[in-house]
């Protein structure tokens, strides 16, 4: 798609963020909808944050676009939620899949469960199954909504609500940047939003089935992601690191 939006100046981005910093997630979504229109999509992993955002976005526009990356290694419960969300909100989830030739080549050389054999292998798998499809998905939008929250730590602590994603020539909008996990849970309960049943079994953060485990009470909420890796700073799949978003 030919991008129909221009990169905002640094001054303009600052103005936007100043205006939205104290806004509610709904006000931020409304701004994004008015600014970007139908070339805006929620990029959803169908985790708790993304389900809250889907509900908010749908209340602003029933034409809310929802995209997901189907890595082909997701838990069965996540696929069940795809269907539940489609039925509840009357939406068609736009799923993006890995290039199966790339998957075949990777698996033939490194094995199906290559991610357990080192961080480089794991990042290769995330690259093939997530990062490359994300690029294709974002080719068709001018703005993407994410469920990132600042208190998730690592690089997420410094995100702005609205950033310019230079890698994809798109706005990147994080309406829940200032929310806590407890606020997300409260929203889900208040509006009876459907959610992944794995959350009730100790999975606060969800990803691919072989790379996610339940966490113990009191553990960091992302401790169950790539739990066998010891470097906490490496615990990102690359979706939010492919190119630093310019602020």
CA-based radius of gyration for the chain: 17
Both tokens assigned to 236: 């990102």
Assess 198 for contact with ligand SF4 (CB under 6 A).
Answer: no
Under 8 Å between Cβ of 194 and 84: yes
Both tokens assigned to 123: 């990042």
Among 211, 215, 242, 245, indicate the residue that binds ligand SF4 (CB under 6 A).
Answer: 211
Among 169, 210, 213, 246, indicate the residue that binds ligand SF4 (CB under 6 A).
Answer: 210
Q: Are strands 162-165 and 170-173 parallel, antiparallel or unpaired?
A: antiparallel
**CB nearer ligand SF4, residue 238 or residue 244:** 238
Distance separating alpha carbons of residues 89 and 186, to the nearest angstrom: 20
Under 8 Å between Cβ of 41 and 94: yes
Assess 130 for contact with ligand SF4 (CB under 6 A).
Answer: yes
**CB nearer ligand SF4, residue 105 or residue 189:** 105
Task: Count the Cβ atoms, other than its own, within 10 Å of residue 158.
Answer: 8
Stretch that binds ligand SF4, among 9-17, 30-38, 123-131, 161-169 (CB under 6 A): 123-131
Assess 68 for contact with ligand SF4 (CB under 6 A).
Answer: no
Residue 234: CB minimum distance to ligand SF4, A: 12
Assess 125 for contact with ligand SF4 (CB under 6 A).
Answer: yes
For residue 222, which phi and psi values (nearest 5 degrees)? -100, 10
Site map 220..239 versus ligand SF4, x via CB under 6 A: -----------------x--
**Catalytic site residue 211?**
no
Assess 73 for contact with ligand SF4 (CB under 6 A).
Answer: yes
Q: How many residues bind ligand SF4 (CB under 6 A)?
A: 13
Residue 126: CB minimum distance to ligand SF4, A: 4
Stretch that binds ligand SF4, among 2-10, 133-141, 147-155, 204-212 (CB under 6 A): 204-212
Among 44, 68, 71, 146, indicate the residue that binds ligand SF4 (CB under 6 A).
Answer: 71
Residue with smallest beta-carbon separation from ligand SF4: 208
Among 31, 58, 89, 115, indicate the residue that binds ligand SF4 (CB under 6 A).
Answer: 115
Assess 126 for contact with ligand SF4 (CB under 6 A).
Answer: yes
Binding site for ligand SF4 (CB under 6 A): 71, 73, 115, 122, 125-126, 129-130, 207-208, 210-211, 237
Query: Which sequence positions are flagged as catalytic?
Result: 237
């Amino acid at each position: 798609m030919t991008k129909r939006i221009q990169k905002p100046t640094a001054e303009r981005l600052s103005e936007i963020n100043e205006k939205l910093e104290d806004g509610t997630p709904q006000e931020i979504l409304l701004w994004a909808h008015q600014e970007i229109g139908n070339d805006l999509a929620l990029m959803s992993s169908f985790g708790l944050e993304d389900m809250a955002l889907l509900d908010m976005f749908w209340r602003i526009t029933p034409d809310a676009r929802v995209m997901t990356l189907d890595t082909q290694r997701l838990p069965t419960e996540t696929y069940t939620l795809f269907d539940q969300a489609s039925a509840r909100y009357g939406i068609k989830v736009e799923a993006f899949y890995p290039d199966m030739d790339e998957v075949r080549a990777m698996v033939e050389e490194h094995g199906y469960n290559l991610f357990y054999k080192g961080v480089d292998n794991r990042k290769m798998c995330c690259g093939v199954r997530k990062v490359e499809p994300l690029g294709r998905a974002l080719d068709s939008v001018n703005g993407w909504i994410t469920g990132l929250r600042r208190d998730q730590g690592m690089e997420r602590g410094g995100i702005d609500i609205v950033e310019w994603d230079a890698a994809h020539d798109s706005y990147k909008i994080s309406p829940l940047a200032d929310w806590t996990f407890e606020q997300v849970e409260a929203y889900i309960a208040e509006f009876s939003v459907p959610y992944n049943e794995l959350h009730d079994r100790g999975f606060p953060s969800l990803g691919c089935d072989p790379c996610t485990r339940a966490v113990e009470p009191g553990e960091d909420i992302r401790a169950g992601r790539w739990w066998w890796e010891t470097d906490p700073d490496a615990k990102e799949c690359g979706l939010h690191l492919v190119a630093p978003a310019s602020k």
